[in-house]
Chains A and B, each alone.
Chain A
């Protein structure tokens, strides 16, 4: 459900960037960590719905998920965490610390070429 709030914030950030460049955004790529609890389908639906009537209407949205990483206390190995079976794949212990989860990030925007009166 919080995907609607994420979609609203995303549209605000994209609109600011588009305004700065006087260009029409056609596609955006975002990334998020595992603990942001973002569901692709729900976010895409919310984005499409909230974008109506804004300069983001009709935009494509690509969502990349970044897995959780952990660092083993015993052997210092850094590894991708599988929450269903959390142990160090190198030494087998459960003695590790989770590294900070990736934030919700707007990675890139693709703008329409040659449109509007932008300088680029």
Chain B
């Protein structure tokens, strides 16, 4: 015996759990979105505002991924939505197995949508399927308009792009950011991507995101 053809997926173990998560969510008819961005783009602020604004229409549960602390889960719980915190203790992404344990702790039967807020990182989380229905990438304008070109994988794989902190563009003085460039670069990689410019702080543009989200509820 010398060379042997194997042809096995290396991330098989992760994908087995991702499939299990997908089946569990499908059984409860709960759409699930994996939110991915750099640290500080406003993922949690977007979630907090979304939960509060949709409180009487859509019941949201959140799985929070962070290297340390349960600060984000506490912010979610302050809205009275259920949140489960995962601490990856150094790992730069969530794995499907971690999400599987967290899903068991969420009251799925009392929810309409599940969000997974991944560890702040624009690269690694894009390589690990968690069993979600789609990925939502958040890019805040302060990060710069070259990110779709520099980090193509996540923009190619996401269903939605939220361009956050657009309030910083008002008056034109604070941040140089070409929204048309981001649109063109993201669509070149991903024809079907929905792009919503928003400010989770002022609420500007959030209604388009809510309308899209309401269309996902089963």
Binding site for B on A (CB under 8 A): 1-2, 5-6, 9-10, 12-13, 17, 21, 23, 30, 34-38, 83, 86, 94, 97-98, 101, 103-111, 113, 118, 120
Q: Is the CB of A9 within 8 A of B4?
A: no
Contact in complex: A105, B4 (CB < 8 Å)? no
Count of chain A to chain B residue pairs whose CB atoms are closer than 8 Å in the complex: 98
> When the two chains form their complex, are residues B188 and A94 in contact, meaning their CB atoms are under 8 A apart?
yes
Establish whether residues A118 and B6, one from each chain, have CB atoms under 8 Å apart when the complex forms.
Answer: no
Q: Is the CB of A5 within 8 A of B91?
A: yes
**B149 contacts which chain A residues (CB < 8 A)?**
83
Q: Are A110 and B11 in contact (CB under 8 A)?
A: no
B: residues with CB less than 8 A from A are: 1-14, 91-93, 95, 121, 123-124, 126-128, 149, 152-153, 156-157, 188-191
B127 touches A98 (CB 8 A): no
Partner of A106, one of B2, B8, B188: B8
Q: Cβ of B156 and Cβ of A104 under 8 Å apart?
A: no
Establish whether residues A109 and B11, one from each chain, have CB atoms under 8 Å apart when the complex forms.
no
Q: List 22 A-B contacts (CB under 8 A).
A: A2-B124, A6-B11, A9-B12, A10-B10, A13-B10, A17-B6, A30-B10, A35-B127, A35-B157, A37-B126, A94-B188, A98-B189, A103-B11, A104-B127, A105-B7, A106-B6, A106-B7, A106-B10, A109-B3, A110-B3, A111-B2, A118-B1
Q: Which residue of A lies closest to B185 (CB)?
A: A86
Contacts of A97 in B (CB 8 A): 191
